[in-house]
Amino acid sequence: MGKEIILRYGCNPHQIPAKIYSEDNGLPLKVLNGAPGYINLLDALNSWQLVRELREVTNLPAAASFKHVSPAGAALGIPLSKTLAKAYFVEGIELSPLAAAYARARGADRVSSFGDWVALSDPVDLPTARLLKREVSDGIIAPGYDPEALALLREKKKGSYNIIQIDPDYEPPEMEIRQVFGVFFAQKRNDLLASPMMTRRIVTENRDLPASAERDLLLAMITLKYTQSNSVCLAVDGQVIGVGAGQQSRIHCTRLAAAKADTWYLRQHPKVLELPFREGISRPERDNAIDQYLREDLTAAEKEQLRETLAGDPPEFTAEEKRAWLANLREVALASDGFFPFRDNIDRAHASGVKYIVQPGGSVRDQAVIAACNEYGMVMAFSGVRLFHH
């Protein structure tokens, strides 16, 4: 593999010249197709680390859907229910474990995943390539590609789809260095691997942590490790369902992640699954229409746009119906990259079905947060590990 790749530009078109390069033994990746840009490659290298760690910790195929250096979704290769398959538009499609992982990762927040960067932990098989071929995506990184899968992906975007192969055995140096405003920053890279031991220091009265919840807490923690801080992540059934990234306040992280989880679950309501779309409406248009349908603050123009997408007026979906449906969302796991300073985070998390929490602990108000968890019968563990990522 070569030592540098010249890029068209950096973060923005006026930032020229731009390149990626290695000062050691060469780059650990090669471009098999397309011409990935600066942000594409930032997404690629961050998302690859995420799925690689998920694979190592869970021993399951993993996928991530990245946008602007944070995951919109991440998931493990667990079979989908019929409801999820319909909500993710993959009914009747053959899904390998790897394809199921990507369907789940993309399904966490389909609106945000539009034009995503895809990371896969395992060599790409044909079922996964077929699924990817249908979606609007900028590129993919994986440790390998089956010949038929590679040929199919090379047809995507009129032959310009970005395809990167990463060396799965590559390990970066212990120290990482970057430059900001002419000043060099150096630190030991965050090579701490999430482990079940981080969920074992349970500080609440309820100490019942099933294996499935432990798995989801680990999934959420690893996702946060590659999410712009501050961040909170909600997960259930082996997949992320809400990420609140890059917020200045912890409660805003929780509100954002929980609101996304609510939307994820509302998409599975029978009224949503049976929306009467007009013939020829694409999946991205359906995703946007569903997002509009679930909102309660639509403008007159947005309401008209929704009506034009559907074959008839949208069925009424009242706030009471939504609350009743969301009451069925349970057993959700939540991880936070920093401690909770106030109990308001717990109150909001409870409203979105959170039962299991892992956070670093260490706040002067830890006891108030623990008391809030006890009121709701939650299980909370202190990991002792902060997971900031900038």
What is d(CA 25, CA 3) in angstroms, rounded to the nearest whole number?
7
What is d(CA 272, CA 381) in angstroms, rounded to the nearest whole number?
36
**Active site (annotated) includes residue 322:** no
In a 3-state reduction of DSSP, which class is residue 390?
Answer: coil
35, 38, 178 from 15: Cα distances, Å = 17, 10, 17
Which is catalytic among the residues 30, 68, 86, 133?
Answer: 68
What is d(CA 152, CA 130) in angstroms, rounded to the nearest whole number?
7
**Active site (annotated) includes residue 345:** no
CA 195, 197, 203, 208 torsion-angle sign: positive
β-bridge mates for residue 357, sequence order: 334, 380
Pairing of strands 4-7, 18-21: antiparallel
Which is catalytic among the residues 33, 46, 67, 345?
Answer: 67
**Active site (annotated) includes residue 390:** yes
**Active site (annotated) includes residue 230:** yes
Which is catalytic among the residues 33, 230, 288, 345?
Answer: 230
- Estimate the crossing angle of helix 211-225 against helix 38-58, to 10 degrees: 150
Residue positions counted in the chain:
390
* Catalytic residue numbers, as ranges: 67-68, 230, 390
